C-alpha cells in the first residue's frame, strides 16, 4: 500500500505532463502505465504543437530538444482544383506551430521524471479505481513483477485514453455522451523520405482527402482518406504512392517524394465528448474525455490544456484547501474542448469527399474553400484556431 497525493492513470503526454506540473508545485504523484517504456516512447501519434503548447513546455524546462529538433511552420497550404493556396499563419496571427512528434514529448517528459526521481510504473495490469466519491480514492493494480498493489490518494487523474479504465469507472448515468462518427477513415503512413514540401499540405480532391506532413527532415508522414472499415491488405505500397501522387498533384507539376514505408495504420474518424469531465475525486483529461478528428491537429494540444487546468485546480484543492477550482475543472476545460471540436469538424467537412454528398453539397464545399483562401478575415479565423487559442 502506498500513499500519494495524486494517482495518474496513463503515461502519455497528458499524464506525464500533469505529473511534472504537480511536481513543480510540490505535489506528489504516481503515474501508472499499462505499456512498457519502450512502447510509449515509440508510439507515433500527433505531430503538430500549437504555440501555447510550445510555450508551456519551454516555460517548465522540458523544451530544449523540441527547440533544437522541432520544425516551426509559419504557414500551411490548402490544395484543391490542382492549385496551392498558402495560409500565412504567422503573418495573420504573430504565432506559428511546431512539428514535433508526440512520442518525442513523451521521451522528454520521461527523461525529466527520471532526472527528478519521479515515479512512473510501467507494465501494470488489472487497474481498478475505488471510492471515487470519497476524499481518499484508491487504485488497485498488479505491478510489472506480478505483485498486488494499492495506491491511496487524494485525487485520481484519468489520462489513459479513449479505451482506458478511467471513464468506464464512472457509474452509469453520471455522464452525458456526445458521439459523432464520420463516413470515412484515415490511412496513415510513415515513410523514410524527406518531405516533399516545407509545410503541411491539406488537399481536397474528388478521390478523397490527402495530407502531407512530416516528423523530421528525413521522415514524412502522409495520410489518405479511405472508407471506414477499410483493410490495410487493400493498400500495398504501390497503391498508396499512386493515390498520394494523384491527390496531391498540382497543375505546375508537383510530385510526392517516395521512399520505403516504415509504418501503416488506419484510424477511424469520430468526434466524442463526455460531460462532465469529472466524478467525485476522478478527473478525466485528454482522450479519456474527448476525441476530435485529426484534421484540426487538436488532440494532443487539448490534452495538454486539460492537465494545465487540472494541475492548477489540484494545487488549490490539495495545498490551499480551496475546492472551487476543482469543482469548476470540467466547465473550464469544456469551453476550449467544444471550440476545438467545432474547428476540427469544420476542417473535416471542408476537405473530405463525403460519399453521401450530392452535387449541390460538393459545390458548397468548394465555395467554402475558395472563400477561406481568398478572404483575409476567413483565413485569419482559421489561422487563429490552428495555431492555438491562448490558455485561459
Work out the average pLDDT over 22-41.
96
Domain ranges of the chain: 2-73+97-178+270-346, 182-268+356-387
User: What are the tens digits of pLDDT across the range 120-150?
Assistant: 999 999 999 999 999 999 999 999 999 999 9
Per mean pLDDT, which range of 95-99, 212-216, 315-319 is the poorest? 212-216
Asked about 294 being catalytic, the answer comes back as yes
Asked about 298 being catalytic, the answer comes back as yes
Identified catalytic residue from 100, 141, 329, 386: 386
Number of H helices, E strands in the chain: 12, 21
Q: Specify the residue for cell string 453520471.
A: 174
Identical fold between 2-73+97-178+270-346 and 182-268+356-387: no
User: What are the tens digits of pLDDT across the range 272-298?
Assistant: 999 999 999 999 999 999 999 999 999
- Average pLDDT score over the chain: 96
Identified catalytic residue from 20, 100, 202, 329: 202
E strand spans, 110-259:
119-121, 125-130, 138-142, 148-152, 155-158, 176-191, 201-203, 210-216, 219-226
User: What are the tens digits of pLDDT across the range 297-314?
Assistant: 999 999 999 999 999 999
SS3 352: coil
Identified catalytic residue from 13, 52, 195, 294: 294
Domain 2-73+97-178+270-346: give its CATH architecture.
Answer: 3-Layer(bba) Sandwich (3.50)
Asked about 202 being catalytic, the answer comes back as yes
Q: Give the angle subtended at the CA of 387 by the CAs of 383 and 343, to the nearest 5°.
A: 65
pLDDT (0 to 100) of residue 68: 97
Q: Please tell me the distance from the alpha carbon of residue 238 to that of residue 124, in angstroms, as a whole number.
A: 40
Asked if residue 45 has pLDDT above 90, the reply is no
The pLDDT confidence band at residue 244, using thresholds 50, 70 and 90, is: very high
Identified catalytic residue from 73, 95, 212, 352: 73
Is the previous residue joined to 276 through a cis bond, with omega within 30 degrees of 0?
Answer: yes
Identified catalytic residue from 23, 212, 298, 352: 298
Asked if residue 224 has pLDDT above 80, the reply is yes
Q: Please tell me the distance from the alpha carbon of residue 333 to that of residue 290, in angstroms, as a whole number.
A: 11
E strand spans, 50-175:
71-73, 76-80, 83-87, 97-99, 119-121, 125-130, 138-142, 148-152, 155-158
- CA 266 → CA 10, 228, 242, 263, 301, distances in Å? 23, 9, 18, 11, 21
Asked if residue 1 has pLDDT above 70, the reply is no
CB 298 within 8 A of CB 340: yes
Superfamily of the domain at 182-268+356-387:
D-Amino Acid Oxidase, subunit A, domain 2 (3.30.9.10)
Asked if residue 2 has pLDDT above 90, the reply is no
Work out the average pLDDT over 61-90.
97
Work out the average pLDDT over 241-269.
96
CB 173 within 8 A of CB 300: no
Amino acid at each position: 500500500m502506498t500513499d500519494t497525493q495524486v494517482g495518474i492513470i496513463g503515461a502519455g503526454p497528458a499524464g506525464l505532463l500533469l505529473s511534472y506540473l504537480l511536481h513543480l508545485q510540490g505535489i506528489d504523484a504516481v503515474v501508472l502505465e499499462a505499456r512498457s517504456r519502450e512502447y510509449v516512447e515509440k508510439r507515433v501519434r500527433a505531430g503538430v504543437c500549437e504555440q501555447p503548447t510550445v510555450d508551456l513546455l519551454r516555460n517548465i524546462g522540458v523544451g530544449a530538444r523540441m527547440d533544437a529538433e522541432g520544425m516551426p511552420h509559419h504557414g500551411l497550404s490548402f490544395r484543391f482544383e490542382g492549385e496551392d493556396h498558402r495560409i500565412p499563419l504567422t503573418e495573420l496571427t504573430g504565432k506559428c506551430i511546431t512539428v514535433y512528434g508526440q512520442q518525442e514529448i513523451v521521451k522528454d517528459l520521461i527523461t525529466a521524471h527520471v532526472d527528478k526521481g519521479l515515479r512512473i510504473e510501467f507494465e501494470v495490469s488489472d487497474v481498478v479505481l475505488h471510492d471515487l466519491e470519497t476524499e481518499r480514492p484508491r487504485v488497485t493494480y498488479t505491478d510489472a513483477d506480478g505483485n498486488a498493489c494499492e495506491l491511496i490518494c487524494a485525487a485520481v487523474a484519468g489520462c489513459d485514453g479513449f479505451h482506458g479504465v478511467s471513464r468506464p469507472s464512472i457509474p452509469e448515468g453520471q455522464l452525458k455522451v456526445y458521439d459523432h462518427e464520420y463516413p470515412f477513415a484515415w490511412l496513415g503512413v510513415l515513410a523514410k523520405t524527406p518531405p516533399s514540401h516545407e509545410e503541411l499540405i491539406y488537399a481536397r480532391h474528388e478521390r478523397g482527402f490527402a495530407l502531407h506532413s512530416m516528423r523530421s527532415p528525413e521522415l514524412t508522414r502522409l495520410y489518405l482518406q479511405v472508407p471506414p472499415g477499410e483493410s490495410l491488405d487493400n493498400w500495398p505500397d504501390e497503391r498508396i504512392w499512386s493515390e498520394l501522387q494523384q491527390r496531391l498533384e498540382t497543375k505546375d507539376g508537383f510530385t510526392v517524394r517516395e521512399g520505403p514505408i516504415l509504418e501503416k495504420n488506419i484510424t477511424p474518424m469520430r468526434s466524442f465528448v463526455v460531460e462532465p469531465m469529472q466524478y467525485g475525486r476522478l478527473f478525466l483529461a485528454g482522450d479519456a474525455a474527448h476525441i476530435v478528428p485529426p484534421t484540426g491537429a487538436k488532440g494532443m494540444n487539448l490534452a495538454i490544456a486539460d492537465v494545465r487546468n487540472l494541475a492548477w485546480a489540484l494545487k488549490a484543492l490539495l495545498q490551499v484547501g480551496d475546492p472551487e477550482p476543482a469543482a469548476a475543472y470540467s466547465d473550464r476545460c469544456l469551453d476550449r474542448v467544444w471550440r476545438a471540436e467545432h474547428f476540427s469538424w469544420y476542417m473535416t467537412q471542408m476537405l473530405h469527399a463525403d460519399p453521401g454528398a450530392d452535387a449541390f453539397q460538393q459545390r458548397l464545399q468548394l465555395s467554402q474553400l475558395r472563400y477561406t483562401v481568398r478572404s483575409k478575415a476567413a483565413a485569419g479565423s482559421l489561422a487563429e484556431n490552428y495555431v492555438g487559442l491562448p490558455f485561459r
